[in-house]
Amino acid sequence: LTEIDSDHESSHQKVDINDTLGDDNLLMNKSERKARKTLAKLGLKKVLGINRVTMRKFKSQQFFVIANAEVFKSATANVYIVFGEAKTEETAPGLNLGGGGGGGGGGGFGAESMVSAGKQVAGKITDVNEDDQEPMDESGLDPNDIETVMTQVNCSRNKAVKALKENDGDLINA
């Protein structure tokens, strides 16, 4: 999972990577300068308005946070390159920031999709004290799908059933 915090809609601007170095060029080591020079030949566009990039290790509660990140997007593919100092953060085991599966291992998340996904998730948040006492009707749903959603999202059985029914049994969107 990758989160990208921004102040406003991200905009793309064709920029030479060497122009963005400025005085920071003195602080970079030789391998970083060499990597930036090689990447400059790819025709990357700088993505403006990114404050922080957060990446989560697959099936882990360990996060890599890059504050003051420089983000570049490939013009030909949905690929982002992030420059900055990555620091690790651990969260409480019960805290679920990701919202579940869907990420896989491809990392094909774009800045625009992450910002819009964050807004969608914020709109779907419900009360924590919701009544989960009565069992819901599970007809038409595979019990394995319910268990998968419960495991991935760390939620109650009723919430998993409700999410699967709202998304017509689709595991990815549930």
Query: Residue with structure tokens 């291992």?
Result: 105
Q: What are phi and psi of 118, to 5 degrees?
A: -65, -40
Residue 38 has what pLDDT?
A: 84
How far CA 86 is from CA of 55, 72, 89, 90, 149, in Å, comes to: 9, 16, 10, 13, 30
Lowest mean pLDDT among 16-20, 29-33, 82-86: 16-20
How far is it, in rounded angstroms, from Cα 79 to Cα 60? 23
pLDDT digits (tens, 9 = 90+) for 112-143: 545 554 544 444 444 444 445 567 777 788 88
Contact (CB, 8 A) for 5 and 119: no
Domain boundaries, the chain: 2-115, 136-174
pTM above 0.75, yes or no: no
Residue 85 has what pLDDT?
A: 86
Residue 125 has what pLDDT?
A: 43
How far CA 23 is from CA of 18, 31, 48, 111, in Å, comes to: 11, 17, 19, 27
Residue 138 has what pLDDT?
A: 78
How far is it, in rounded angstroms, from Cα 154 to Cα 94? 8
How confident is residue 79, by pLDDT bands cut at 50, 70 and 90?
A: confident
CATH topology of domain 2-115: Ubiquitin Ligase Nedd4; Chain: W; (2.20.70)
